[in-house]
Structure 1
Amino acid sequence: MDSLYLYNPSHALPAVFAVLVGMSMLLHIYQNFRYRFWRVTFWMFWAALVFMTGWILRCVSSYYPANRNIYIAATVFIYAGPPIFSAAEYNVLARLMYYLPMHAPFNPGRALLFFIYLGSAVESLTAAGASLYATSRGGADKNALLTGGTLISVSLALQAAVECIFISLVALMHYRCARAKTLPYNVRSLCFMLYGTSTFVLLRCIARAIESFSTETTTTCNAVCRLVLFNEWYLYVFEAAPMVLYTYWINLVHPGRLLPTDKHRYLDPNGVTERMGPMWVDQRSTREKLMDLLSLGGAMRGRITTREVFWLQPEKWEVASGGSFAEGTATNVDSAPEAHIRRARRTSTPWRKIRSTPSVV
């Protein structure tokens, strides 16, 4: 077979998108070091590296269109990038919940685990499906092609569902802040950024789902099937472009500029003051945690510890030094002379003593 593609693949477009993703990755690296935000946005770097590798391999594959190994590798890496990008969103939402504990629907740490578990399932299905799909492309193994397409379809549906849940949680946080009349600029900017980036992921999921279902019906290829399978621009418009815009949007509204690095730093219900609190502490047994990951059972029964509502006792928690992210006067950049003082204060804040004497209401 002369080519695994159903069209003449472009040499330039994959290189262009590889460069765009690479530039965005370098900017992410710079901002992560500058704002000391690697724990939250590490996945942006990893996803950009995977996605960029996919487009580099796609560029190489365009010169060797009959090489199955390069084609498989390019397909797998390109498919694998977007689910990892989504993991960065989940981290940002969890950090926003830590910052706004009074508006968080449940424990931010548990919310992050919930999304990471689902994201891992999406990534596994995507990798397996893309590998089978690319391996059987152009061959006689129609069963492998069908299985690969099915796995990809399931992964896309699952990722779309996760994104819808994610958007709903962001909207809930946004609504609660607005209702409480405590919606500072940094929170509003992050909410709009998460709405936009999630929309790009959903757009990509829908487009890829159309492609996947079309692939499964190649024996009776209709007009939609031909549009998807025989036109390369479809891939760049609905896969490459949305994810590149996604990465640059997060670079433009980098969470490290708008949220504190320290998870113990939270916004007081007055919407201005920031304090160093005890964060969230889950006192349940391991069995209870596994059975009710999001702590919904305890919340429905009204069993909430005082440490879970620590924001109702602001007099117990020290005011955070270095200004306020809500007012735009705080920064994660440790260039100020008092940086070492802030670090020392974080190791001696009152919440560390209070944590050893739990009480229940």
Structure 2
Amino acid sequence: MFLFRLLALPLLVSAVAIQTRTQPQRGPSPTITTTICPTSSAISPNLDLRVRQQVALTTASLDDIDSFTTTILNIIPGRTDSYVTIHPQTIAIAITTCHQTITPDHNGYVPPGTCGAIWTYYPAFKAAVAFGVIFALLLGVHLWQAIIYKKKWCWVIIMASIWETMAFSFRAISTRYQQSEGIYLCFQIFILLAPLWVNAFVYMAFGRIVYAFHPSKSVFGIPAINLAAIFVFLDISSFIIQLIGGGMASPSASAAAQQRALHIYMGGIGLQQCIIVIFLVLCMRFQWQMDQVRAVRGGMLKDLLRAEWGPLQAALYVALCMITVRIIYRFSEFSSGITKGNALTKYEAYFYLLEATPMMFAIFVFNLFHPGRFVREDMPGIWSVFCGKIRNRRGKTPAEGYDGDAYDLDRHKLVEGCNAL
């Protein structure tokens, strides 16, 4: 049930976004008339209040040509006589200027920049289907590996594969229904947020590497259990920020709303990249400490590949590198705002080269080097550790999988090993 709710989250967000935003009118623009009707003299026998109809002076200013809206300013002049004073008023009315004069083709396509256009290029159906099939195959392999290695926590990389598969499924559907904003928004949310699942899986895998192989089960004094929990929490924070930005970036939203959405989303991926940089520092620290403990000589890369945990650690580096490539691509794409002059938004090849392919490799590398092959020891969850500490204070048996005395002994062994080198 929990996995189903996570899977349905982008669909819910897209539905709410479509429900709450103002849909552009496809018909002719309404005629704006401003009238102050005369009042009856029966209000008071001694007060004959007659306000004659005034002619409204109308000026128009195109605030937002990209979103096909205009603001009509109705200026109503004031009137002063012996009975009443009416101050001048200005009424701002936003109306749509979207009049679809071009007949969409059988897939709903209209040229970019015209009324009703969602895509900035003609999206390829076969490419979307091909990548959807690839991610579905990777999903099937991850399901099989999670079962044979009995690693329940690998549901995170499974969710990443599901979201990528859903993203390209909606993209394939959108290529056939290019006038549907709802389908496009579902694709957009899935594709923008799926990499965060891979990020979370990397953090969880590294925590288990530290727990299984590091003598002190910690890096920089941070226990492996807390290490994984901290970075997953930061990843969730980035997830929420990007979800808000992605949900607001609707094709029919105003230019100002789209710009705000892009700023929010870019803030989210900026936070994601900062977390990755900090995480890499911890990875390098762990690798250096393990080299010292094992007294391994030679180059860093050679040491990494020779270690028992090395291939999995290398897989983490590859996945983070692929995610970084994708983040740089998104930064470059959104840095110019919603303007149509950016080449990254005009050609579909950039999307498949810098978004789809890196994420495919980020998921595939864990098929090749699955954590179940390298990490035999299961790390207790943060809740088990918390309950174990409470039981220790009460003089009860610690939670299964957590041994505070062994933890301190391993830390002492690490200090002795480092001093001996």
Fold conserved between structures, TM > 0.5:
yes
Deviations 1:34-54 (CA, angstroms, capped at 9, x unpaired): 000122x21000111111101
Which of 374, 393, 408 is matched with 1:309 structurally?
408
Gaps of 5+ in 1: 265-277, 285-304, 315-361
**Residues 36, 261 of structure 1: 8 Å contact kept:** no
**Residues 214, 290 of structure 2: 8 Å contact kept:** no
User: How far apart, in 1, do the equivalents of 2:253 and 2:138 lie?
Assistant: 40
Alignment of 1:220-235 (within 5 A): 225-235=341-351
Q: Secondary structure at the match of 2:137?
A: helix
Q: CA deviation at 1:65?
A: 1.0
Which of 127, 132, 156 is matched with 2:248 structurally?
132
Quote the residue 1:236 is aligned against: 352
User: How far apart, in 1, do the equivalents of 2:411 and 2:223 lie?
Assistant: 16
Report runs of 4+ in structure 1 exceeding 6 Å deviation: 278-282
Which of 89, 92, 99 is matched with 2:212 structurally?
99
Say which one has the larger Rg. Answer: 2
Deviations 1:234-270 (CA, angstroms, capped at 9, x unpaired): 1111111000011111110001011114337xxxxxx
The AA in structure 1 aligned to 2:347 is N
Q: CA deviation at 1:310?
A: 2.3
Q: TM-score, normalised by structure 1?
A: 0.70
Which of 307, 326, 347 is matched with 1:185 structurally?
307
Label 1:306 to 1:140 Cα distance change in 2 as closer, same or farther (>3 A). Answer: closer
Quote the residue 2:124 is aligned against: 10
Label 1:92 to 1:140 Cα distance change in 2 as closer, same or farther (>3 A). Answer: closer
Q: Which protein has greater RCO, CA pairs closer than 8 Å, 6+ apart?
A: 1
Higher mean C-alpha displacement, 5-14 vs 207-216 = 207-216
Higher mean C-alpha displacement, 103-112 vs 244-253 = 103-112
Quote the residue 1:64 is aligned against: 177
Which of 152, 162, 169 is matched with 1:49 structurally?
162
Deviations 1:294-339 (CA, angstroms, capped at 9, x unpaired): xxxxxxxxxxx7553222678xxxxxxxxxxxxxxxxxxxxxxxxx
**Residues 153, 212 of structure 1: 8 Å contact kept:** yes
Higher strand residue share = 2
Alignment of 1:345-356 (within 5 A): none
Gaps of 5+ in 2: 1-114, 296-302, 391-403, 414-421
Alignment of 1:266-281 (within 5 A): none
User: How far apart, in 2, do the equivalents of 1:67 and 1:280 lie?
Assistant: 49
**Residues 329, 354 of structure 2: 8 Å contact kept:** yes
Which of 129, 134, 149 is matched with 2:262 structurally?
149
Which of 336, 349, 354 is matched with 1:214 structurally?
336
Quote the residue 1:158 is aligned against: 271
**Residues 213, 309 of structure 2: 8 Å contact kept:** no
The AA in structure 1 aligned to 2:209 is L
Deviations 1:265-305 (CA, angstroms, capped at 9, x unpaired): xxxxxxxxxxxxx9899859xxxxxxxxxxxxxxxxxxxx7
Quote the residue 2:19 is aligned against: none
Quote the residue 2:109 is aligned against: none
User: How far apart, in 2, do the equivalents of 1:232 and 1:155 lie?
Assistant: 24
1:198 aligns with 2:324: no
Aligned CA-pair RMSD: 2.4
**Residues 204, 242 of structure 1: 8 Å contact kept:** yes
**Residues 32, 38 of structure 1: 8 Å contact kept:** yes
**Residues 157, 198 of structure 2: 8 Å contact kept:** yes
User: How far apart, in 2, do the equivalents of 1:73 and 1:312 lie?
Assistant: 48
Quote the residue 1:36 is aligned against: 150
Q: CA deviation at 1:2?
A: 4.3
1:118 aligns with 2:234: yes
**Residues 57, 70 of structure 1: 8 Å contact kept:** yes
User: How far apart, in 1, do the equivalents of 2:411 and 2:266 lie?
Assistant: 46
Quote the residue 1:351 is aligned against: none
User: How far apart, in 2, do the equivalents of 1:62 and 1:252 lie?
Assistant: 32
**Residues 139, 161 of structure 2: 8 Å contact kept:** yes
The AA in structure 2 aligned to 1:256 is G
User: How far apart, in 1, do the equivalents of 2:164 and 2:214 lie?
Assistant: 34
Quote the residue 1:347 is aligned against: none
Label 1:140 to 1:90 Cα distance change in 2 as closer, same or farther (>3 A). Answer: closer
The AA in structure 1 aligned to 2:124 is S
Quote the residue 2:368 is aligned against: 252
Q: Secondary structure at the match of 1:161?
A: helix
User: How far apart, in 2, do the equivalents of 1:169 and 1:140 lie?
Assistant: 41
The AA in structure 1 aligned to 2:117 is S
Q: CA deviation at 1:187?
A: 1.1
User: How far apart, in 1, do the equivalents of 2:137 and 2:164 lie?
Assistant: 12
Label 1:151 to 1:97 Cα distance change in 2 as closer, same or farther (>3 A). Answer: same
The AA in structure 1 aligned to 2:408 is V
Q: CA deviation at 1:181?
A: 2.0
Q: CA deviation at 1:142?
A: 1.3
Deviations 1:205-230 (CA, angstroms, capped at 9, x unpaired): 111111111225x1xx6xxx421111
Label 1:148 to 1:312 Cα distance change in 2 as closer, same or farther (>3 A). Answer: closer
User: How far apart, in 1, do the equivalents of 2:133 and 2:357 lie?
Assistant: 13
Which of 59, 69, 78 is matched with 2:191 structurally?
78
Q: TM-score, normalised by structure 2?
A: 0.61
